[in-house]
């Protein structure tokens, strides 16, 4: 909270009707679908989130690469819930959850709001993890928010502009035309594929001094394969397709240093390699919301290394049947951090609350129905894994198109997304190439205001040990992901 400003506390205005009060933290997949599930219920719903929008994260990479606008993937939560009369939307960052007194405290600038609940659904998601190297963020932004995507858009298109100026002066611009994506999961693969396409198709005729199609796109991961959650075979196919699209793939490489001009990677045999690259994108790890920590402290529920909280089978917290945690924040039965886990968990929690209020039997343990995973590699090429069906290519891409269209919120956004896709995939245009100085430099400015990231840098000796441990963890995690997918074990309750 800003110094010298009065703190304003109040009870949320929607809390005076005497009805059962459901408070939902987050307006992402978990939060929004939970709120909607109460549409016809005789309860009072308050959705508290730190952003004004519901973000469709799976398409962030298309905002970053100029295909879609931010509005198309991030409609205002207030607008989505406008017709749901029992729902109130409150903008603010939740800073405290008091389980004993059933209170949630949120802050917006100097306004502090305390909201009382009878039932609580926590769906605050996850942020980017730099595995203890938060100082990397300044030079390799992650992709978790609209701010991130717009900043990356500015950096990607800006790098081509700088290269054009440098080339006109006869300078070496290889570092400007080298793009490195760290993390070969779905986000990294989609991002690398799209940058390659941007360079090879969209920008091909736009410059006079550089040949954009010669840009280098490198995808780096410490794991031994790309797309571990899709299993080994699809991983291999995806790798071949990416390479055909012009993406260089470097596996078994742990990123150990990142700076303005490039990054360093360390291999298992101890070799260190450096790539000179001005534009780096971090798509390598997630860290669950900090709110998990306060819930863990108050209930004794364990947190794993990614900050995810162990919940009961019905998604409640130990000794707090009125508190549910859903989505990316939970650690339950190897469930992956994907939208369907959040959506289905949110619906399950809402159904449990409604059953209790109606005096009906509760649905009991949460059973995840795995609808499969998909990722695009390039135009007309995707990978899909649904149960035993695994495919790559055009049909998979069509499936990707239909599913993503179905989940974009709002008819208007679906319509404009289709138009933008037609322009980008059949034509070669991208209509959302606008970038601003604020988008590119705001992060650095904010970091300076907040005192910089210098304090986060650890001692050099300390780092080496941490990194080796991290490499082992990442390798094990990737192998486990591939094993779970190949063995169809995902989401099966532990015996």
Ligand X SMILES: Cc1cc2nc3c(=O)[nH]c(=O)nc-3n(C[C@H](O)[C@H](O)[C@H](O)COP(=O)(O)OP(=O)(O)OC[C@H]3O[C@@H](n4cnc5c(N)ncnc54)[C@H](O)[C@@H]3O)c2cc1C
Q: Which of 67, 254, 335, 338 binds ligand X (CB under 6 A)?
A: 338
- Residue 62 in tokens: 């298309």
Does residue number 228 form part of the binding site for ligand X (CB under 6 A)? no
Contact 59, 157 (CB under 8 A): no
Give dist(CA 469, CA 321) in Å, integer. 37
Does residue number 131 form part of the binding site for ligand X (CB under 6 A)? no
Segment interacting with ligand X, rule: CB under 6 A, options 21-29, 204-212, 429-437, 480-488? 21-29
User: What is the DSSP code string of 236-257?
Assistant: HHHHHHHHHTTEEEEESEEEEE
Q: Which of 23, 26, 150, 350 binds ligand X (CB under 6 A)?
A: 26
Q: Please enumerate in sequence order all residues whose Cβ is within 8 A of that of 315, keeping only pairs 6 or more positions apart, or say none.
A: 324, 325, 326, 330, 332, 345, 348, 349, 352, 366
Does residue number 123 form part of the binding site for ligand X (CB under 6 A)? yes
Q: Please, what is the minimum distance in Å from the beta carbon of residue 74 to ligand X? A: 10
Does residue number 94 form part of the binding site for ligand X (CB under 6 A)? yes
Does residue number 58 form part of the binding site for ligand X (CB under 6 A)? yes
CA distance readout (Å), 21 to 11, 17, 86, 119: 13, 9, 10, 6
Contact 134, 140 (CB under 8 A): no
Q: Which of 22, 24, 31, 164 binds ligand X (CB under 6 A)?
A: 31
Q: Please enumerate in sequence order all residues whose Cβ is within 8 A of that of 407, keeping only pairs 6 or more positions apart, or say none.
A: 56, 58, 339
Q: Which of 87, 220, 310, 342 binds ligand X (CB under 6 A)?
A: 342
The two beta strands, 253-258 and 247-251, are: unpaired
Segment interacting with ligand X, rule: CB under 6 A, options 120-128, 201-209, 242-250, 264-272? 120-128
Pick out residues in 34-53 that bind ligand X (CB under 6 A): 48-51
For the chain, the distance separating the N- and C-terminal CA atoms, rounded to the nearest angstrom, is 47
- Residue 274 in tokens: 């450096």
Give dist(CA 475, CA 86) in Å, integer. 47
Does residue number 291 form part of the binding site for ligand X (CB under 6 A)? yes
Count of residues in the chain: 495
Q: Tell me the site size for ligand X, rule CB under 6 A.
A: 32
Does residue number 152 form part of the binding site for ligand X (CB under 6 A)? no
- Measured from the CB atom, the residue of 154 and 285 that comes closer to ligand X is 285
Q: Which of 37, 72, 151, 190 is catalytic?
A: 190
Q: Please, what is the minimum distance in Å from the beta carbon of residue 80 to ligand X? A: 12
Residue 215: DSSP 8-state: -
Q: Which of 340, 344, 352, 413 binds ligand X (CB under 6 A)?
A: 340
Alpha helices in 84-212 (DSSP H): 146-168, 186-197
Give dist(CA 445, CA 437) in Å, integer. 11
Segment interacting with ligand X, rule: CB under 6 A, options 335-343, 361-369, 435-443, 457-465? 335-343
- Measured from the CB atom, the residue of 176 and 198 that comes closer to ligand X is 198
Does residue number 113 form part of the binding site for ligand X (CB under 6 A)? no
Annotated catalytic, 248? no
- Measured from the CB atom, the residue of 152 and 223 that comes closer to ligand X is 152
Binding residues for ligand X (CB under 6 A): 25-31, 48-51, 57-58, 60, 93-94, 123-125, 143-144, 186-187, 289, 291, 327-328, 337-340, 342
Known catalytic residues are: 190
């Amino acid at each position: 909270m800003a110094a010298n400003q009065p703190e304003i506390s109040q009870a949320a205005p929607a809390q005076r009707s005497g009805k059962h009060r459901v408070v939902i933290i987050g307006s992402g997949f978990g939060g929004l679908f939970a709120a909607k599930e109460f549409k016809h219920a005789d309860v009072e719903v308050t959705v508290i989130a730190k952003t004004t929008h519901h973000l469709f994260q799976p398409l962030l990479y298309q905002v970053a690469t100029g295909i879609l606008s931010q509005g198309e993937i991030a409609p205002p939560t207030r607008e989505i819930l406008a017709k749901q009369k029992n729902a109130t939307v409150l903008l603010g960052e939740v800073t405290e959850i008091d389980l004993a007194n059933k209170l949630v405290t949120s802050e917006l600038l100097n306004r502090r709001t305390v909201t009382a609940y009878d039932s609580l659904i926590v769906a605050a998601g996850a942020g980017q993890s730099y595995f203890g190297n938060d100082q990397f963020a300044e030079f390799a932004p992650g992709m978790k928010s609209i701010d991130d995507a717009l900043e990356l858009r500015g950096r990607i298109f800006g790098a081509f502009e700088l290269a054009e100026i440098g080339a006109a002066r006869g300078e070496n611009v290889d570092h400007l035309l080298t793009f490195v994506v760290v993390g070969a999961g779905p986000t990294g693969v989609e991002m690398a594929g799209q940058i390659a396409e941007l360079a090879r198709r969209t920008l091909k005729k736009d410059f006079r001094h550089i040949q954009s199609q010669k840009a280098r796109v490198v995808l780096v991961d410490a794991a031994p394969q790309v797309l571990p959650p899709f299993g080994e075979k699809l991983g291999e196919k995806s790798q071949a397709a990416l390479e055909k699209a012009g993406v260089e793939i470097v596996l078994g490489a742990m990123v150990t240093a990142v700076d303005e001009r490039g990054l360093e990677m360390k291999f298992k045999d101890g070799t260190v390699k450096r790539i000179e690259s001005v534009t780096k994108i971090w798509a390598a790890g997630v860290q669950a919301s900090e709110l998990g920590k306060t819930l863990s402290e108050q209930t004794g529920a364990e947190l794993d290394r990614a900050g995810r909280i162990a919940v009961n089978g019905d998604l409640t917290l130990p000794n707090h049947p009125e508190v549910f945690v859903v989505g990316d924040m939970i650690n339950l039965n190897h469930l992956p951090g994907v939208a369907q886990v959040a959506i289905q968990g949110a619906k399950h929690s809402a159904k449990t609350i409604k059953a209790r209020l109606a005096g009906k039997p509760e649905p009991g343990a949460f059973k995840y129905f795995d609808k499969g995973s998909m990722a695009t590699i390039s135009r007309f090429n995707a990978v899909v894994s649904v149960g035993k069906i695994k495919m790559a290519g055009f049909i998979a891409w069509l499936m990707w198109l239909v599913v993503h269209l179905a989940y974009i919120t709002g008819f208007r956004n679906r319509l404009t997304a289709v138009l933008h896709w037609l322009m980008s995939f059949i034509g070669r245009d991208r209509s959302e190439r606008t970038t601003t100085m604020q988008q590119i430099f705001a992060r650095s400015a904010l970091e300076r205001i907040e005192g910089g990231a210098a304090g986060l840098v650890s001692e050099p000796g300390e780092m080496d040990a941490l990194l080796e441990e991290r490499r082992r963890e990442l390798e094990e995690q990737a192998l486990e992901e591939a094993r779970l997918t190949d063995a169809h074990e995902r989401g099966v309750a532990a015996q």
